[in-house]
Amino acid sequence: MQLRRVVVTGLGAITPLGNTAKDYWAGLVAGRSGAAPITRFDASKFKTRFACEVKGFDPEQFMDRKEARKMDPFAQYAVVASDEAIKDAGLDLEKVDKDRFGVIWGSGIGGLKTFQEECIAFGRGDGTPRFNPFFIPKMIADSAAGLVSMRHGLRGPSYVTVSACASGNNSMIDAFNVIRLGMCSAMVTGGSEAAIYEAGVGGFNALHAMSTRNDDPLTASRPYDKDRDGFVLGDGGAAIILEDLEHAKARGARIYCEVIGAGMSSDAYHITAPHPEGVGVHLCMKNAVADSGIALTDVDLINTHGTSTPIGDPQELKAIQKLFGEQAYKMNINATKSMTGHLLGGAGAVEGVATILSVVNDIVPPTINHFTDDPEIDPKLNLTFNTAQKRTVNVAISNTFGFGGHNTSVVFRKYS
C-alpha cells in the first residue's frame, strides 16, 4: 500500500527551561541549565538534593481547581502541553473529523505523586481503607491520553505507551504509523512525567543512577564529560501534532517539518544497564535510517539519549560511529538532557520538540557542562559542547532508550 506522508504542525511544551515551546527553545539555544535545589519536598537527607523541576506552573491558570485536583501533575502537563500544541497547529476542532483524530501519549511511571501520597496516608492510619475515589484514575498512566481526548472530543485511538525512558518516542512512532497507514488524519502525541518526589528521587538514588553533585547542581548534568556521575532528574512534558500531509495542506496549515521514519529495537541484555557494545542502539538507528529511505550521509544531527551516565554515554557514541562511519565526524551530535535533565517517559517528547526546532531554525542547541574530555570518547566527534551552533539541518534523528533495553529513534526532515 502507499504510505501517507506525515508532518508536524503544532508544538507545546512544559519544561524546566520554560512552560511554552517558545520559551523552552530560547532556553535551549541560550545553553541554560534547568537544575536547582529541590523545592517539592525536604530533600536534605537524600543523596541527591537537586533536580530539573518545572518552575512557575500553576494548573489553575489552564483549568478550574476542581478539575486540576482530579489530575496527577504528569497528566496536568499532558493536558496543558496538548492545549498549546493544538492551538499552535491552528486546528479548528469544529471543522475536523474527530473520529479520525486521536491521542497517543507516553509516560514511564504515571501518577507517582498520587500513588505515594495515598500509600503514605494509608500507612499512617489505623488500617481502615480510606482512599481517595480518584486514586486509581489519577495514578494510571493511560489517564493522560484519556483526559486529552475527552477535553477535545477526539474519538480516534487513545492510549499511553509505557517503555520507561523510551515512552515519549514510542508514542510518537505509534502516532506516526497510525497516520501513514491511513487510520487517522491527525494525532496528538508526546509524553510527560512528574517523578521529582521522595519515591522517585529515593528510588533512582538506590540504583546509583543519579548525579550527587549537590555542591553544583547547575553543572551536574554533563553528558560526555570525563567527570559525569549520573543523570539529573527532570519533569514536565511536550506535545506534538502530527498530521497526514494532505489533511494539513487542505486546511492551509503551517508545517514545521516532516517525520520520515522510525526505528525500534531491544538490547535483550539487562533491566537497567545498556548493552556494553551498543548492539541494540546500533540496530535501532539502522532500522530508522532504512525506514526513512535516506542515505547515512543525509543525516546532519543526532540528538542523543545522552543521559550523563558513565556507562551509557560512550556506548551510544560507539554505536553512532559504527553505523555512520565517516559521516559521524561530519554531523552534529548533542545532548539536550544537559539542560533539561532526564524527563524519563517525557524525554522523547521534549527532545523531539528540540530536534524539530533544530530542523526548522538550522540551529543545534549545545551539550552544556563540558569541562574535561573523556579519553573513551573520540575527540573528533562534534558534540556541540557548551555553545549552540548554526548549520543547515535537513535531516535529524532523536534517540531515546529505556530501562529494560527499549531503544527508539525518530527521523525528521525539512518539509518541501
CATH code, domain carrying 105: 3.40.47.10
Do 146 and 293 lie in one domain? The reply is no
The pLDDT value recorded for residue 83 is 98
- Domains of the chain: total: 2
C-alpha span between 168 and 190 (Å, rounded): 5
342 part of the active site: yes
The pLDDT value recorded for residue 276 is 87
Residues of the chain where predicted confidence (pLDDT) is lower than 50: none
Residue ending a domain, choose from 220, 250, 280:
250
Do 226 and 311 lie in one domain? The reply is no
End-to-end C-alpha distance for the chain, whole angstroms: 23
CB proximity list for 58: less than 8 A, separation 6 or greater = none
Residue ending a domain, choose from 250, 276, 296:
250
Cell (9 digits) for 13:
511544551
Q: Which of left, alpha, beta for 309 (phi over 0: left; psi -120 to 50: alpha)?
A: beta
pLDDT digit string, tens, across residues 368-411: 999 999 999 999 999 999 999 999 999 999 999 999 999 999 99
Three-state DSSP state, 406: strand
The pLDDT value recorded for residue 90 is 98
Do 404 and 385 lie in one domain? The reply is yes
Do 171 and 33 lie in one domain? The reply is yes
Report yes or no on 148 lying in a domain.
yes
Report yes or no on 255 lying in a domain.
no
C-alpha span between 203 and 254 (Å, rounded): 43
C-alpha span between 330 and 252 (Å, rounded): 36
Do 184 and 316 lie in one domain? The reply is no
CB proximity list for 43: less than 8 A, separation 6 or greater = 37, 49, 50, 201
Report yes or no on 26 lying in a domain.
yes
Q: Residue 137 CB: number of other CB atoms within 10 A?
A: 18
The pLDDT value recorded for residue 277 is 87
247 part of the active site: no
The pLDDT value recorded for residue 1 is 77
Report yes or no on 98 lying in a domain.
yes
Instruction: Print the domain residue range for 302.
Output: 261-413
Cβ(230)–Cβ(210) below 8 Å: yes
Cell (9 digits) for 75:
497528566
> Which of 152, 247, 275, 305 is flagged as catalytic?
305
The pLDDT value recorded for residue 222 is 98
Do 283 and 195 lie in one domain? The reply is no
305 part of the active site: yes
> Which of 52, 165, 184, 284 is flagged as catalytic?
165
Residue ending a domain, choose from 203, 226, 250:
250
> Which of 275, 282, 342, 370 is flagged as catalytic?
342
C-alpha span between 288 and 146 (Å, rounded): 29
